[in-house]
Structure 1
């Protein structure tokens, strides 16, 4: 009997991964971050202008929300969460929004948003919540230090990310929920700073979120890195006027993810074309030899090149056309 086609074997492998994840997640996630209670944040209207006074008022209001969540975590007996929230509420931290419920949401600003000429919006992937926020904050800090004055980086943890090993991480459901919120957030930033150039930086599952939000979004560049795919066959299918970039580190495990999209009656599984493949049609930037969590590491090749894209200077090194190791 002839061996089954390669695509069929990959389909079965993806389905097997889904089943394995389904078994693992209830055990690993039984007492996850969403179990820690937090009060609803105070109602806030949209910012009308990115002027220092208005931003200071917003930062103070969200700081009060963070402190309320800290008190709730302490009363619940979660000292680790309470300590993390205490650090987030320090006077030097600046959040445009915060909600401590259901694992946590927030948008933290690095740099002077009131005077920024270049703004990067950092969209994280799976496994990100308040209990793992330090890693995301580290990336935002490193990127802003690389960019320097006249720029702002906004870390947007604006959705309920899937667990890294979970059925939800293989399907577009969470991304479909998140895309409208990301679209609204970027448009609000654009209204606040209409003259600033804005770039979306989309890590891992965050690529699926960005792709869903891309159509008509007023951004100059969309950067996909460590991406499992976007849910679209080509960059042109995103229907964006932004330049779409893609990069992948040489030691990133995401390279081994099957680039398929299975349409089932109840959901889709997988995210389709590899963004660093010629078939997708993105511009490829050199992303060094690091792993899945190394793209914004201080001093790294991908950090330097991503900062170059944000600054509109271009990356220091483009990968050769069609180089799948980018």
Structure 2
């Protein structure tokens, strides 16, 4: 769901009858589970109220930055075609930088100009609006271990630097730990329009459902480029784990990692309908632990993402992430980063527990 933020606490809300009186507790037969569910639903409703007030402001603040429409070339299937795709997307980024500068968007122009550097490997690029980019770190043509980073909310070209920093940190850890003869690569996939953290959109699966076919398509392209023997592992952070949950049934991957997840929209690993090993972690100081794990049908839409992936009942392989917060999973030297590298390399032990 993006960078650290506060979650509204609805614990003090109480029921009110039609005559305006507070309802009394229903007694022992109600059970602790029912009371917890009601508190969670009230907390979710409180978040919705706040988000509904703020979202018009956040939406209005997001500029529709102009850029050229990207070319739509065939997916690269050979190293030579991959090199050509990189060059074409760098050229698009250079043109987008010039257009952004001409319209007064200095920060975006600088981001696009950096992406246009000859050292960058762009598998896809679209500079329009919040922007999309798929960047490869490493030698994808010869990779046999590939991590695909799927970001959470508030990630766009304007904030791409922090997302790429996570990808670089994982790449360095993979390179450090890779056995001789193993060739890892990292793909930073900003391939969908992420929701704003403070919005009603971030509380639904709509953006994830829109993103899922694009993530499946990327994995199919990676399969062609790297071969059937390669291990591909989506590493899905926050709202990105909702995207991975929606895409899971169609992903030919060996592992899937859910980091700081508010839920996947599924109630269990079995409900994801994937053959991949599913891993989950949450840092001790991650605020997402306070997000209610419920579904609520409101205003003709389903809000909330269901079961907690680090709950043993969900069925994921839970690994320790240390004391970090919501943005610390890729911090160098952290337990989470070392575990991520072992998972991507296929060297992680199958453990359970938090």
- For Structure 1 versus Structure 2, the TM-score category normalised by the shorter chain is over 0.9
Match of 2:84 in 1: 57
Which of 157, 174, 178 in structure 2 is aligned with 1:130? 157
In structure 2, how many angstroms separate the alpha carbons of the residues matched to 1:42 and 1:299? Answer: 40
Match of 1:18 in 2: 48
Alignment of 1:37-76 (within 5 A): 37-49=66-78, 51=79, 53-76=80-103
User: For the Cα contact (< 8 Å) 1:137–1:155, is it kept in 2?
Assistant: yes
**Structure 1 unaligned residues grouped into runs of 5+:** none
Describe the superposition over 1:191-223 as per-residue Cα deviations: whole angstroms up to 9, x where unpaired: 111121100100000001001111142100000
Find out whether 1:110 has 2:103 as its counterpart.
no
What is the TM-score when the length of structure 2 is the normalising length?
Answer: 0.87
Find out whether 1:170 has 2:194 as its counterpart.
no
In structure 2, how many angstroms separate the alpha carbons of the residues matched to 1:181 and 1:300? Answer: 31
**Structure 2 unaligned residues grouped into runs of 5+:** 1-22, 27-34, 176-181
Secondary structure in structure 1 of the residue aligned to 2:101: helix
Match of 2:298 in 1: 264
In the TM superposition, what is the alpha-carbon distance from 1:31 to its structure 2 partner? 2.5
Instruction: Spell out structure 1 runs of 4+ moving beyond 4 A.
Output: none
Cα RMSD between the aligned structures?
A: 1.4
Find out whether 1:3 has 2:3 as its counterpart.
no
Query: Which structure carries more relative contact order (alpha carbon 8 Å, separation 6+)?
Result: 2
Alignment of 1:1-326 (within 5 A): 1-3=23-25, 5-32=35-62, 34-49=63-78, 51=79, 53-148=80-175, 150-194=183-227, 195-264=229-298, 266-314=300-348, 318=351, 321=353, 323=354
Secondary structure in structure 1 of the residue aligned to 2:314: coil
Secondary structure in structure 1 of the residue aligned to 2:60: coil
In structure 1, how many angstroms separate the alpha carbons of the residues matched to 2:57 and 2:214? Answer: 30
In structure 2, how many angstroms separate the alpha carbons of the residues matched to 1:263 and 1:184? Answer: 30
In structure 2, how many angstroms separate the alpha carbons of the residues matched to 1:7 and 1:201? Answer: 30
Secondary structure in structure 1 of the residue aligned to 2:257: strand
Name the larger-Rg structure. Answer: 2
User: For the Cα contact (< 8 Å) 1:274–1:280, is it kept in 2?
Assistant: yes
Secondary structure in structure 1 of the residue aligned to 2:311: coil
What is the TM-score when the length of structure 1 is the normalising length?
Answer: 0.94
